[in-house]
């Protein structure tokens, strides 16, 4: 900032006072430049102008002027009004099938290509797979065994005889396949094994009669040679012998392990004696085992030393266990047969082949999806309807659909999946399936669609614009609906409503009696995007307030 020259006034020296010594003479002050003075004055003027201008600009911007507004009204109309539910969903083919292989193989023949139209049952291709065939054969054999087990839940005597080593069983006791039930012996006949010298090899033959003697009972019995075994039994004397098995009937008084001998006749009538006596044996001994799993449901003639006939029931088992096994195995077999059918597949549905990866002569492996077919003649659209509107949805309900381009389709409710309802934020939504006729093919899979359907409708009803219905509360906090109607004087059904004071710069909330409008209580009904049904409170010839049309809010 330029320096300013300061002039100091001189003071007179009082009379009689000693005049002080004259001060040392200073050099004269430097004279200020006129140009610098002019610049300083211009700067001060600009700063002052900006300050004044800022104050006026602030006052201009913050100054509120009175809002100019115009009341918009509408006459009460009579017509029809609908309440609709809207939403969106995606289109997809109603039917689709994908054939996936469960085993590897070689492609022999391919009969279709992508884009071909096929009908249900039409052959598609042929693949050879030894792996898939082996799986079916194995499961079939296992199924056959289970059926055989089911046929043996009643355990029977395989032949006539006597029971020994009988096991004890209780009702409902679980018996497993292979468990021992008893030992059955055929004591109707006895066997006797004797050894004869090879010197009589040509004198003894199968079927030859023989006399069997049992020293214990001192009796002889008629028997016959049943079997000759050319073994080499060597006696202590050094002679070689062969075995002869003799069978004879048991009169009922003989058993196993009794000493016995036999005498045969040679061709010249002489007697042929064995090297030594032998021990009697039961003709047949068999351990009876359970052939299936199951609980004991009954006990037959299962007693120790009981004489039983061939086929006589000994033990009864229930079928619950085996039935479960058969059901599970049948399911496996059915699945394997279905999978095997995929190697000589036919089309499961009517439709269009959307993909086919097969090439004749190529190898395929388990898990390959070789062909897909879609039926686009009928499409489905999955939508979600909340619990406020699900009561209006029934099978057969027509639903309007539209795409982004304004094309309209009609869908029909085919199912409501109540079991897959989902709840969120206090609201439950239900999946609803729509079926759409698509014979012309204009509806594509994956297309995004808007939907709407009518939940209720009122005809020949009074209607006012949606903005005309105001919701207010009385002194007790009860909420009700009012409509402001134009009238020259206060109507009899007008309600007292405190009109809020409008502050400067604000748009009025409600019209006042000074504007010629009075609030009357109404009962509102259905509504759409534009109008509200008035069930009571109006006559039908009124002019109602809609809103304020603001022309100017700020200067």
Q: What angle do CA 301, 302, 308 make, to 5 degrees?
A: 55
Position 75 pLDDT exceeds 70: yes
Q: Which of 37-41, 114-118, 165-169, 249-253 has the lowest mean pLDDT?
A: 37-41
Total count of residues recorded for the chain:
555
Whether the predicted pLDDT of 254 surpasses 90: yes
Spatial distance between the Cα atoms of 162 and 70, rounded to a whole number of angstroms: 118
Same fold, 85-91+374-459 and 183-290: yes
Q: Phi/psi at 130 (nearest 5 deg)?
A: -65, -30
The Cα–Cα gap between 407 and 295 comes to 67
Q: Please say if the pLDDT value at position 61 is more than 70.
A: no
Confidence at residue 304, expressed as pLDDT on a 0 to 100 scale = 93
Helical (H) or strand (E) element with 57 = helix 34-62
* pLDDT at 483 > cutoff 60: yes
Tell me, what's the pLDDT at 555? 42
For residues 224-245, give the mean pLDDT: 96
What gap in Å lies between CA 245 and CA 225, rounded to an integer? 6
DSSP single-letter state for residue 275: S
Query: Is residue 13 scored above 60 in pLDDT?
Result: no
- Cα 520 to Cα 418: distance, rounded to the nearest angstrom: 44
- Pairing type for strands 469-473 and 479-486 reads antiparallel
pTM of the entire structure?
0.43
> Using CA atoms, how far apart are residues 363 and 107, in angstroms rounded to an integer?
6
Q: What is the pLDDT of residue 20?
A: 40
What letters, b where the CB count within 10 A reaches 16 and e where it falls short, cover 143-157? beebeebbeebebeb
* Least confident residue range of 10-14, 170-174, 287-291: 10-14
Residue appearing with tokens 């297309």:
447
Higher pLDDT, 138 or 341: 138
**Averaged over 194-212, what is the pLDDT?**
95
Tokens of 549: 């049309």
Q: Can you tell me the distance from the alpha carbon of 402 to that of 410, in angstroms, rounded to the nearest whole number?
A: 9
pLDDT score, position 40: 64
C-alpha to C-alpha distances, 440 to 118, 398, 436, 538, nearest whole angstrom: 17, 19, 11, 50
pLDDT value at residue 222: 96
Mean of pLDDT values over 106-122: 92
Enclosing H/E stretch for 54:
helix 34-62
Nearest to 125 by CA among 393, 323, 373: 373
d(CA 181, CA 173): 13
pLDDT digits (tens, 9 = 90+) for 77-101: 999 998 888 888 889 888 889 999 8
Percent residues over pLDDT 90 in the chain: 59
- Choose which CATH entry (3.40.30.10, 3.40.50.720, 2.60.120.200, 2.40.30.170) describes domain 85-91+374-459: 2.40.30.170
Q: What is the mean pLDDT of residues 336-344?
A: 87
Please give the CATH architecture assigned to the domain spanning 183-290.
Beta Barrel (2.40)
Lookup: tokens for 465: 């614009």
DSSP notation for 444-495: PTT-EEEEEEEEEEEEEEEEEEGGGEEEEE-TT--EEEEEEEE-SS--TTB-
The pLDDT, as a whole number, for residue 342 is 83
**5-9, 121-125, 193-197, 286-290, range with the lowest pLDDT:** 5-9
Q: Are 3 and 32 in contact, with CB atoms under 8 Å apart?
A: yes
Mean pLDDT of 269-278: 94
Q: Which of 82, 81, 72 is nearest to 468 (CA)?
A: 72
- The predicted-structure confidence for 35-57, as pLDDT tens digits, reads as follows 555 666 566 655 555 655 554 45
> pLDDT class for 474, splitting at 50, 70, 90?
confident
Distance CA 523, CA 166 (A): 91
Q: Residue 413: how many CA atoms within 13 Å on its side-chain side?
A: 21
* Coil vs helix vs strand at 337: helix
Which contiguous run of DSSP H or E holds residue 116? none
Buried b (16+ CB within 10 A) or exposed e, 537-550: bbeeebebbbbbee
Provide the β-strand partners of residue 158: none
The first and second tokens of residue 537, run together, are 């409170």
Selected residue with higher pLDDT from 290 and 28: 290
Least Cα distance to 283 among 302, 256, 323, 306 occurs for 256
CA distance 266 to 197: 13
Residue 35, pLDDT score = 57
pLDDT tens digits for range 485-509 = 999 999 999 998 888 887 877 788 8
pLDDT of residue 373: 92
Residue 356: pLDDT band by 50, 70, 90 thresholds? Answer: very high
Mean pLDDT, rounded, for 150-170: 94
User: Coil, strand, or helix at residue 533?
Assistant: strand
Q: Can you give the pLDDT at residue 43?
A: 62
Provide the terminal-to-terminal Cα distance of the chain, rounded to the nearest Å: 43
Q: What is the DSSP letter of 268?
A: T
Flag whether pLDDT at 454 surpasses 90.
no
Q: 3-state DSSP call for residue 301?
A: coil
Q: Residue 47's pLDDT is what?
A: 56
Q: Would you say residue 10 has pLDDT above 50?
A: no
Q: What is the pLDDT of residues 300-322, one digit of tens each?
A: 999 999 999 999 999 999 998 88
SS3 readout for 131-195: HHHHHHHHHHHHHHHHHHHHCCCEEECCCCEEEECCCCCCCCCEECCCCEEEEEEEEEEEEEEEE
Per-residue confidence (pLDDT) for residue 18, from 0 to 100: 41
Q: Where are the domains of the chain?
A: 85-91+374-459, 183-290
Give tens-digit pLDDT for 18-34.
444 444 444 444 445 55
Angle at 148 between CA 142 and CA 153, to 5 degrees: 125
| pLDDT, averaged across the chain | 86
Average pLDDT over residues 142-164: 93
Predicted local confidence at residue 486, as pLDDT? 95
Q: What is the pLDDT of residues 363-390, one digit of tens each?
A: 999 899 999 998 888 889 999 888 888 8
pLDDT of 15 higher than 50? no
């Amino acid at each position: 900032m330029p320096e300013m020259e300061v002039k100091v006034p001189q003071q007179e020296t009082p009379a009689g006072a000693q005049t002080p010594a004259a001060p040392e003479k200073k050099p004269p002050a430097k004279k200020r430049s006129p140009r610098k003075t002019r610049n300083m004055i211009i700067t001060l003027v600009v700063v002052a102008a900006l300050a004044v201008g800022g104050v006026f600009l602030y006052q201009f911007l913050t100054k509120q002027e009175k809002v100019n507004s115009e009341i918009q009204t509408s006459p009460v109309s009579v017509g029809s009004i609908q309440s609709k539910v809207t939403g969106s969903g995606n289109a997809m083919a109603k039917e689709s099938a994908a054939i996936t292989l469960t085993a590897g193989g070689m492609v022999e023949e391919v009969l279709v290509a992508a884009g071909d139209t096929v009908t249900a049952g039409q052959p598609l291709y042929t693949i050879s797979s030894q792996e898939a065939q082996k799986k079916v054969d194995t499961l079939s054999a296992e199924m056959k065994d289970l059926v055989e087990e089911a046929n043996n839940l009643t355990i029977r005597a395989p032949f006539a005889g006597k029971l020994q080593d009988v096991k004890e069983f209780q009702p409902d006791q679980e018996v497993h396949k292979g468990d021992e039930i008893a030992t059955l012996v055929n004591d109707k006949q006895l066997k006797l094994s004797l050894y004869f010298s090879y010197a009589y090899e040509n004198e003894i033959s199968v079927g030859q009669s023989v006399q069997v003697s049992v020293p214990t009972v001192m009796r002889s019995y008629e028997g016959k040679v049943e079997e000759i075994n050319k073994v080499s039994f060597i006696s202590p004397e050094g002679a070689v012998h062969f075995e002869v098995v003799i069978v004879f009937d048991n009169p009922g008084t003989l058993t196993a392990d009794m000493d016995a001998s036999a005498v045969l006749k040679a061709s010249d009538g002489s007697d042929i004696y064995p090297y030594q006596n032998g021990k009697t044996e039961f003709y047949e001994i068999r351990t009876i085992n359970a052939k299936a799993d199951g609980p004991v449901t009954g006990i037959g003639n299962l007693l120790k030393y009981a004489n039983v006939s061939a086929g006589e029931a000994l033990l009864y088992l229930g079928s619950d266990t085996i039935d479960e096994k058969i059901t599970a195995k049948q399911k496996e077999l059915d699945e394997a047969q279905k999978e095997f059918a995929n190697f000589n597949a036919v089309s499961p549905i009517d439709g269009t082949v959307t993909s086919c990866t097969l090439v004749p002569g190529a190898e395929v492996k388990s898990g390959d999806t070789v062909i897909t077919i879609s039926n686009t003649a009928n499409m489905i659209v999955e939508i979600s309807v909340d619990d406020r509107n699900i009561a209006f949805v029934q099978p057969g309900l027509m639903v309007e659909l539209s795409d982004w381009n304004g094309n309209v389709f009609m869908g029909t409710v085919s199912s409501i999946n109540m079991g897959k309802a989902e709840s969120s934020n206090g609201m439950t939504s239900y999946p609803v399936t729509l079926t759409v006729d698509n014979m012309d093919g204009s509806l594509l899979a994956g297309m995004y669609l808007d939907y709407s359907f009518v939940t209720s409708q009122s005809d020949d009803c009074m209607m006012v614009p949606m903005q005309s219905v105001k919701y207010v509360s009385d002194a007790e906090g009860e909420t009700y609906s009012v409509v402001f109607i134009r009238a020259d004087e206060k109507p009899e059904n007008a309600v007292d409503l405190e009109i809020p004071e409008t502050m400067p710069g604000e748009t009025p909330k409600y019209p006042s009696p000074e504007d010629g409008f009075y609030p009357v209580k109404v009962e509102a009904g259905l509504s759409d995007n534009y109008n509200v049904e008035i069930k009571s409170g109006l006559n039908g010839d009124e002019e109602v307030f809609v809103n304020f049309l603001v022309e100017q809010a700020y200067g």
